[in-house]
Structure 1
Amino acid sequence: MKNLKSWRYPMFLLTGIGIANIGEWIYFLSLNLIVLKETGSAFAVSILYLIRPAAVLMTNGWAGSIIDRCNKRNMMMSLDFIRAAFIAVLPLMFTARSLFSVYCIVFLIQMANAMFRPCSMAYVTMLIPAERRKRFNSLRALSESGAFLLGPAAAGLLFIAGTPIFAIWVNAAALVLSGFITMMLPNLENEPHVHSPRQKLSLAVYKEDWKLVYRFSRTARDVMIIYFLFSLVMTVMPSALDSLEAAFSKEVLQLTDADYGFLVSVSGAGVIAGALVNVFFNKKMPASLLMGMGSLFTAVGYMIYAFSDVFWTAAFGFFLLAFFLAFANTGFQTFYQKNVPVDIMGRVGSFYSLVEAVFIIVVTAVFGAAAVSSSVRGIVLAGAAVMLALAAVLCSFLFAASKRRTPDVFQADQCKQT
């Protein structure tokens, strides 16, 4: 009974995150369909995919400074309500037939998303004791995996019962519900041991915060090298490769629309299976092993996919890479929570997300341009090979770091937080 009670707030948090994730899938699929219907242009839809990294570029240079100085729970709750309000406004923009206004609203929603992620990571680190974080992170991975399947399924049912506009309203309601669930979580920064100083933000303060991130990156060099390598392997390279996924499947593998749909379903099954296995077995594996094994086998899955000539080989590659995603993400989140002080977590996460967004834009653009003049298979093979090599380098750094086990040298009181 005591153990169940201790998991009450973490389960509230997981419920809120799960509802928001399902709603995000409903919103994004609905938005794609509405924009395509209103414009008849695939290019107009593709702009929606560019708005997210653009919003990260616009937001993350300063968002971390606000996150680390604000009440995390209240900020998460406010961001849920803000996103719900903006999403609720979207149908009015379509009624007015103002595509530019739609893009502006989506941009603001993505700015809120960019702030929510590092804010929730800091709050989770404060809420969950160190010995339970790996378990929580595995359950979070399962929740996100469930949203990967339930979100599109729920969207499909809503499209049958109503319209994509109706589905967008449902998403707004889901975010309101998530906000109220967040309101039920403890206000940790009212506790006496939590220090959250406040000062009027200015350009000088932002510069000091960037310098602080630089000092931390130098002091915890091994930690940030691992962070950056993981970002390249699990976010940057997959984003670039996924941009060619449809072209590879259609032009190289000669798949029909039904075959391609089934291929995506296979990856969904892999995500769920991996998340379930991860929940039951992650306790026996250190975070570094989860992180290294997950990233390496994800890269191997992409490599199998890149070499495939028939559907079933591609399906096996998809299943393998999807299966190990939960292991990699659980290991990474636990590693990050352990090695980055919570009172600078917002600034560190926001800054490196900014760098990550730049890399995503550049690498995706290079892959897309190269695919115009070269074979799609050649580009996908080269990208998968680079991803596998980076994963091997990441594993070597993780192995070396686990052997050293150096004590933390960058303490919270060294941050000189303003």
Structure 2
Amino acid sequence: MGKYRFRAIGMLIAITCASCGDWLYLIALNLKVYEQAEQTAAAVAILYMIKPAAGLLMNSWAGSIIDRLDNRKLMITLHLIRIVGLIGMIMADSLWQIYVLVFFVAAAGSIFEPASLPYITGLIKERHWQKFNSYRAIADGSGFVIGPAAAGILVGAGSVEAALTVNILLLLLAAVICFVLPSVKVALEEKAESKWLQIWKEDWRLVFDYSKSFAMLTFLLLLFSCFTVMTASVDSMEVAFAAEAIGLSEASYGLLVSIAGVGFISGSVLLTVVTRYFRSVQLLTYGASAGAMGYVLFAFSQSFIPASAGVFILSGALAFANAGYVTYMQERIPVEQMGRMLSMYQSIEAVLIIGMTAVLAGINQLTSVAAAVQIGCLIMLMLAILLGMCSLKANVKTKA
């Protein structure tokens, strides 16, 4: 039991390091691109389109590899690839070079998520999944607070390059921890005569057949994916909205992000206390509904105080929603298929994110950033209501 707890804690520390680095990288890069592009919201929106574009390119086939390789070794490799990309980003001196390197880093990141979930599912005992995911929310929330705060300090006192260097060190630490942790599953065997294209087609057929057999499960997961799409699309306008619609300075925006981080941690801590009283689907739907209301409050804010209340609520609620979503998948998708299922669902999600981000950017150009954010948040609220209605009526089958 002592060794098991050590492994769980080690995984949480690795997640905290990666989360902190991701937020530090995201905030610093947003500010750098926004300034370098002469405060053009569309330039920042492109950053938010690069990640789903990379996901679309990688996830359509990456799942076939994820379920056939040692996930721990793959996670270490992906951490190292991201480190190399960040080193290149430090040396980049033009906006387009940054975009190319962001794509490179995002491609590795898009594979990492569906690779890490099967590994964690195997590492953690089934009865502890929901509890672990609640503590994982705290780990993510710690990065949410520390990352932006560190980015503000490093960018203010030094440069974006200093922030990226710290990110490299955090990813290196996460890679070392993964190296110490054990492998937890055996790679699937393939027939010698199997062709890669044939394997890829069979994997897509497997995902389709499973999704058809568990239609309500698939529908609920896709609904939540649409909700996630809207959060990503609205977030792409966040910097410009805070500056133009609310009139916040960079310092005030940094404080707003920190408040969101505090909200996420507060929600995560509350989640660890109450998680045993809820099923995973309840965490998912209640969290999505409260998160959507927080987004709407933020979208219609005209000053710092209501905006900060909105981000506090939405962040705390999303801790519940994300933990519920991950546990829900772990309970119902076989671990030996999880990489393929998650990767291919994320391919669909990537297409939707690119489309909705482009739509909101177009609305921004035609009207205002405030109108774009408000429309996005109202759509998000409708999706949350639909998700709640469907979850109440659903009689979802258990894992095959």
Residue of structure 1 aligned with 2:397, choices 389, 396, 406: 406
The C-alpha deviation readout for 1:313-359, integer Å capped at 9, x for no partner, is 33322221111111111111000111111111111111111111111
Residue of structure 2 aligned with 1:109, choices 105, 108, 121: 105
The aligned residue for residue 162 of structure 2 is 166
List runs of 5+ in structure 1 lacking aligned partners. 411-418
Residue 368 of structure 1, CA deviation: 2.1
Return the letter of the residue paired with 1:23.
G
> Is 2:148 the partner of 1:152?
yes
My pick for the range that moved more, 213-222 or 244-253, is 244-253
The C-alpha deviation readout for 1:78-135, integer Å capped at 9, x for no partner, is 111222223223334x2xx465444333322111100000000111111111110111
Residues 179/281 of structure 1: CA separation in 2 closer, same or farther (3 Å cut): same
List runs of 5+ in structure 2 lacking aligned partners. none
The aligned residue for residue 8 of structure 2 is 10
- Percent of residue pairs bearing the same amino acid type: 38
Residue 272 of structure 1, CA deviation: 1.7
The aligned residue for residue 277 of structure 1 is 270
Q: Any residues of structure 2 matched to 1:51-200 within 5 Å, and which?
A: 51-92=50-91, 94=92, 97=93, 100-159=96-155, 162-189=158-185, 194=186, 196-198=188-190
Residues 45/251 of structure 1: CA separation in 2 closer, same or farther (3 Å cut): closer
Contact 2:214 2:396 in 1 (8 A): no
Note the aligned Cα RMSD (angstroms). 2.6
My pick for the range that moved more, 271-280 or 160-169, is 160-169
Return the letter of the residue paired with 1:209.
D
The aligned residue for residue 25 of structure 1 is 23
The aligned residue for residue 362 of structure 2 is 369
| Whole-angstrom CA distance in 2 between matches of 1:292 and 1:394 | 6
Return the letter of the residue paired with 2:180.
M
Residues 263/106 of structure 1: CA separation in 2 closer, same or farther (3 Å cut): closer
| Whole-angstrom CA distance in 1 between matches of 2:283 and 2:37 | 44
The C-alpha deviation readout for 1:254-296, integer Å capped at 9, x for no partner, is 5555554443333222112111111222122211111111001
Specify the SS of the correspondent of 2:105.
Answer: helix
Residue 5 of structure 1, CA deviation: 3.8
Contact 2:261 2:315 in 1 (8 A): yes
Contact 2:20 2:146 in 1 (8 A): yes
The C-alpha deviation readout for 1:182-224, integer Å capped at 9, x for no partner, is 01111112xxxx4622456522221221111111110111111
Return the letter of the residue paired with 2:189.
P
Residue 307 of structure 1, CA deviation: 3.9
My pick for the range that moved more, 318-327 or 48-57, is 48-57
**TM score, norm. by length of structure 2:** 0.90
Return the letter of the residue paired with 2:149.
A
| Whole-angstrom CA distance in 1 between matches of 2:96 and 2:258 | 34
Return the letter of the residue paired with 1:197.
E
